[in-house]
Amino acid sequence: MTELLFRSDTYQREAVSRVTGHTAEGGVLCEGSLFYPTGGGQPGDSGTLSWDGGGQTLPIATAVKVRDTGEIALVPGEPGRLPPVGTEVTQTLDWDRRHRHMRVHTALHLLSVVIPLPVTGGAISAEKGRLDFDMPEMTQDRDALQELLTDLVDRDLLVTEDWITETDLERQPELVKTMSVAPPRGAGAVRLIRIGEGDEQVDLQPCGGTHVARTGEIGALRLGKFEKKGRQNRRVYLHLDD
């Protein structure tokens, strides 16, 4: 399995690793991946690979999970020479894009706090995100929701990770907010993202994505459209304002 460098330090922007193989589709496999792979509604990271003292570079458009192996493939953004197996490469993130994904992802967790309904889907981009809720009738007050979201950001709550066994998670199904995406299982433990601590805790739910360290880092945000998606679902958009 690929070492998940993006999980060890979400703020790490550059890392040295070694190429272990190539996929049939032209992806690059490394011992560790600084690039988050597409999953959970969050896009894969982009950036560059460089080797030979920086003399060779390869743009990376995204990263994806390799089915059944636990490896992460770095997908080139254009055709080019791949670093040979065994080569030491430097992975460099498009940090601005990754950081915006982190801000949006944490903001969507806050959205699930102020709209405490089951989540049926979601998506993240560098400018906005959205959650789909099991909300047959539109009963939410937009201005009140905006005020609650702004308050949670302004409180600059600590965002941390914790782990729970799969058995304990089964005993606490209320932790799982998403109806459409089940937490990853099979490793014996599931990662939780906690927002706030002690009496200030506002959220705790399974999540494998990248997040900011404190809610204040999200910055200015605003609610966007509320769309009806079928008989039971409402889609709520959230935008970064800077």
Residue 67: CA atoms inside 13 Å, Cβ hemisphere, count?
Answer: 2
Q: How confident is the model at residue 184 (pLDDT cuts 50, 70, 90)?
A: low
Q: How confident is the model at residue 106 (pLDDT cuts 50, 70, 90)?
A: very high
CA distances from 174 to 67, 109, 157 (A): 29, 15, 22
The pLDDT of residue 107 is 98
What does R_g of the chain's alpha carbons equal in angstroms?
19
What is the spatial distance between Cα 220 and Cα 223, in angstroms, rounded to a whole number? 11
pTM: 0.93
Question: Please, what are the domains in the chain?
Answer: 3-93 (2.40.30.130), 98-240 (3.30.980.10)
What is the spatial distance between Cα 120 and Cα 145, in angstroms, rounded to a whole number? 19
- Number of Cβ atoms within 10 Å of the Cβ of 188: 9
Q: pLDDT tens, 23-48?
A: 999 999 999 999 999 998 999 999 99
Taking residues 122-145, what's their average pLDDT?
Answer: 90
Cα dihedral 168/172/173/176 (nearest 10): -80
